[in-house]
Amino acid sequence: MRAHLEQSKTLVQALMDYSLQDSEFKSLVSLEIIRFFKITTRKTTLIPLLLDCGIAEACVKWISVPNPSYNSLQLILRVIHNISRHNGGSDRLNELKMTTVMHRLKRPREETNFNDNDYEEVQLAVTMIYALLLEPQTLKNNTLLSNERFIRIIKQILQMIITASQHTNGFYFYNCFHISEPLIVLTKLFNNDSVLLHCLGESPTCLDFFCQLLIQIHCRQPSAADEHEYITVLNYLAVIALCNILWSISFHDQYKEKLKEKTEILKLIDRLSSGDFAIQQLDAASEPRHLSSIRKACEGILWNLEEKVVTPITPTLMRQRPMAMISYSHVDTPFCKELVAKLQTHNEFDLWVDFLHYHQDSSRSSISHSDDIWEEIARAIELASIIILIVSKDYYDSKSCRQELSYASDALKKRIIPIYTNTVQQNYKANGWLGIRIAGQKYIHFGRKSLDLGVRELVSMISDPQKPQPVLPSPSVLEQKQQLQETNEKNPVGQWTKEDLHQWFITNQIHSNLELLYNELHTGTSLVLYARHLKMYYRQEYEFLCDKHREKYYGKQLDTVQFIVFVDALLQLDKTDLFSKEVEEQMMSVRDRVKEQTENEQQTWL
C-alpha cells in the first residue's frame, strides 16, 4: 500500500484539495475522502508520506469549519488522533498549534448543536488528542482534577480499556479504538501523580485490572509471523503502555506492598526485564517518545519494589577524596559531556557518570538496557559523597531520573547540588517530586555565567564540603516572588482569581496535594480570611487537615514540613493591606467574640 501511495502523491493531494473546497462537507464524497484518510493514517508507517502531502495542514482547515456535523467532526478527530500517535505527526501538529485551533471544541454543550451523548464523545476524542500533543510538564497541572468534565473523561477512558479487554478474539478493539490507544493516553495523563492516585483511589480493583490485563495480552501475543501483524504491533504497544503504568504506580509507597503480593505479575515482569517478548523493535517514530521500553520499565518496577538495605561503607571503601556522581537526563547528554570534560581538568575529586563507565562515546540511551545498569548506578550513588543533579524539564519528565534522585535523596540523604544547563528556559521552575527534593539547595545556573566560571564554583563546592553554603531557593523562585510582588501592586490580593491562587501555590513551593485540599478557595480574599482563621484555630485546623489528607490520599500522612511551608506563606500573605480600617476593626471585633465564645464552650466541655 505504501508503494502505491508513493506513486500517487498527486492523487492524494487532489483528494485533499477536493475535500477542502467543500467547506461545509455537504458532499458525501468529501466525507468518504476523510474516511479514507482515517483508514490510511491508522498505519503509522504511512504518516511520513501523508505529512509530505500536507495532511496536517488539511486537518487544521477541516477542524476550523464552523458548526460541523457530529459524523464529520468525529472523522476529522480520528484523523488528527491517528497522526498524533506518530512522533513526527505530533511534532507537525504542534508546529501548527493544533491544540489552540481545537480549543473552541471545548465550549459548553449549550453552545453546540450536539446532544449530550455526542457532546461527551467529542470531548473524549479532543482530550485524547490533547494528551498526545501536550508536553508532560503541562499535563502535570495541579488543577486538572478540579475540572468535572476531565474526571468524567478519565472514567470514560478507563471504561474503554475495560470494554476492549473483554474481547476474546485477541484484537482488543472498542468503537474503532484499539486498547493500546487509550492506554497510551493514560500513561501520558499518569505523569500527573494526582491523576494516577485519583484513578487508583476511585477504583480499588484498578491495580489488579492493570496487572491481569498485562498477563492477558502478553499470553495472547501472536508471533511476528502471525497473519495479523498489525494487531501484533498494537498489542505490543499495549504491553509497553501497561509496563509504564505499573512503573508509575510503583513509585508510590501505598501501592508497593500490593504489587509485591502479586507473584504472577512479578514473575512476568522479571521475564520481560530480560527481553522476553516476541517483537524486539518498532519503528522509532511509531513508539511514543514519552514511553520507556518494556525492558527499562520492568527493570524500574523491580528496582522500586526491591527492599534496599543501606549498608554503611566500611573503612576499606572510604575514599581519600570526595566522589561526585552526576545524575542527568539523556536529552542533556551534550551539556553533561561538556561539563565532565571541564571537571576532569581540575582533578580535585573522583567523578562517576554512566558514559565514562560503559561506552565512552555512546549516548545514555544505548546503555539503559544493560543487565546491571540499575545496580551500577545505585552503587555509584551509595559511594558518592555528592550528587550533581542536572536540572531540566526532561529530567523532571523521566521516571529513571526520578528513581535515581529518590534513592539518593530519600533513602541515602545524600548532599545534592542542583545545576541548571545553559539551555534551560529562564522561566523554568522545578516543581512536583523534583521541586520538593531540591528546594532550599544552593544551585549553579550555567545560563547566567560562563561555563568556566560555573565549573570553578562547582569544584569549590565539591572540594570544600565543610565550607558553609548559603541556602537559596531554586533559581526561579526569587524571580517569581519578585514578579508576584510586582504583580500584586498592579493586581491586589483582593482581586485575585483562581489562576492567581494557583500561581501563589507554585511560587511559594507549596505541595500540590495541599493545593488540591483547598480547591474550594477561589479568591485572594478567601485565602487571607483562611489565614486569619488558621491563626485563631491553628491546632484544630492542623488536626482537621491531617484527617482530610489521609482520607483524600488513601492513608498517606501529611508531611509536617509541607504544612509549615504552607502556613508560612499564609502568614506572609496575611500582612497584605486587603481591607479598609473600618472593615478590619469589625473583623477584629467578630474574631474576639468568636474566640471568647469558643473558650467558654471549651470550659463548659471540660
What is the residue-wise DSSP string for 521-544? Answer: --SHHHHHHHHHHHHHSHHHHHHH
Confidence of residue 371 (pLDDT cuts 50, 70, 90): very low
Q: Give the pLDDT confidence score for residue 367 in this predicted structure.
A: 34
How many residues belong to the chain?
Answer: 606
Residue 359 has pLDDT above 70, yes or no: no
The helix-helix angle for 116-133 and 180-189 (nearest 10°) equals 70
Confidence of residue 562 (pLDDT cuts 50, 70, 90): confident
Q: Which amino acid is at 365?
A: S
Confidence of residue 98 (pLDDT cuts 50, 70, 90): very high
Give the 3-state secondary structure of residue 352.
strand
CATH code assigned to 34-305: 1.25.10
Confidence of residue 361 (pLDDT cuts 50, 70, 90): very low
How does strand 177-178 pair with strand 173-174? antiparallel
Q: Of 209 and 289, which is predicted with more confidence?
A: 209
> What are the beta bridge partners of residue 389?
327, 418
Taking all residues of the chain, what is their mean pLDDT, rounded to a whole number? Answer: 80
Q: Give the pLDDT confidence score for residue 469 in this predicted structure.
A: 45
For residues 528 and 492, what is the distance between their CA atoms, to the nearest angstrom? 12
Q: Give the pLDDT confidence score for residue 87 in this predicted structure.
A: 92
How does strand 415-420 pair with strand 444-445? parallel
Q: Of 26 and 40, which is predicted with more confidence?
A: 40
> What are the beta bridge partners of residue 178?
173
Q: With 0.85 as the threshold, say if the pTM is over it.
A: no
Specify whether the CB–CB gap between 423 and 447 falls below 8 A: yes
How does strand 386-391 pair with strand 173-174? unpaired
If we measure between CA atoms, which residue out of 272, 244, 132 comes closest to residue 187?
Answer: 244
Q: Of the ranges 32-41, 264-273, 417-426, which one carries the lowest mean pLDDT score?
A: 417-426
Question: How confident is the model over 127-180, as pLDDT tens digits?
Answer: 999 999 998 777 776 567 778 889 999 999 999 999 999 976 768 998 889 999
Is CATH 3.40.30.10 the right assignment for the domain spanning 315-476?
Answer: no
> What are the beta bridge partners of residue 352?
325
If we measure between CA atoms, which residue out of 168, 304, 313 comes closest to residue 244?
Answer: 304
Q: Give the pLDDT confidence score for residue 67 in this predicted structure.
A: 84
Question: Where are the CATH 3.40.50.10140 domain residues in the chain?
Answer: 315-476
Q: What is the mean pLDDT of residues 86-114?
A: 92
For residues 190 and 184, what is the distance between their CA atoms, to the nearest angstrom? 10
For residues 463 and 538, what is the distance between their CA atoms, to the nearest angstrom? 44
Residue 545 has pLDDT above 50, yes or no: yes
Give the 3-state secondary structure of residue 366.
helix
Contacts of 310 (CB under 8 A, 6+ apart): 382, 411, 412
Q: Give the pLDDT confidence score for residue 472 in this predicted structure.
A: 44
If we measure between CA atoms, which residue out of 240, 116, 213 comes closest to residue 158?
Answer: 213
- C-alpha cell belonging to residue 26: 455537504
Residue 356 has pLDDT above 90, yes or no: no
If we measure between CA atoms, which residue out of 33, 44, 40 comes closest to residue 4?
Answer: 40
For residues 292 and 285, what is the distance between their CA atoms, to the nearest angstrom? 13
Query: 521 in the Ramachandran plot: left (φ > 0), alpha (ψ -120 to 50) or beta?
Result: beta
Confidence of residue 222 (pLDDT cuts 50, 70, 90): low
For residues 552 and 569, what is the distance between their CA atoms, to the nearest angstrom? 23
Confidence of residue 602 (pLDDT cuts 50, 70, 90): very low
Q: What is the mean pLDDT of residues 522-545?
A: 83
Q: Of 450 and 59, which is predicted with more confidence?
A: 59
Residue 480 has pLDDT above 60, yes or no: no
- C-alpha cell belonging to residue 295: 525492558
Q: Of the ranges 22-31, 120-129, 416-425, 597-606, which one carries the lowest mean pLDDT score?
A: 597-606
Determine whether 142 is exposed, middle or buried from the number of CB atoms within 10 Å of its CB (0-12, 13-18, 19+). Answer: buried
Q: Give the pLDDT confidence score for residue 473 in this predicted structure.
A: 46
Contacts of 27 (CB under 8 A, 6+ apart): none
Alpha helices in 327-386 (DSSP H): 333-346, 354-357, 373-383
Q: Give the pLDDT confidence score for residue 428 in this predicted structure.
A: 75
Determine whether 288 is exposed, middle or buried from the number of CB atoms within 10 Å of its CB (0-12, 13-18, 19+). Answer: buried
DSSP 104: G
Alpha helices in 113-205 (DSSP H): 116-133, 136-139, 148-165, 180-189, 193-202
For residues 91 and 245, what is the distance between their CA atoms, to the nearest angstrom? 24
Question: Where are the CATH 1.25.10 domain residues in the chain?
Answer: 34-305
Q: Which amino acid is at 285?
A: A
Q: Of 603 and 435, which is predicted with more confidence?
A: 435
When computed from its CA atoms, the radius of gyration of the chain, rounded to whole angstroms, is 27
Contacts 24+ apart (CB under 8 A), 45-49: 45/2, 45/283, 45/286, 46/1, 46/2, 46/5, 47/82, 47/83, 47/86, 47/88, 47/89, 47/285, 48/86, 48/88, 48/285, 49/2, 49/5, 49/6, 49/9
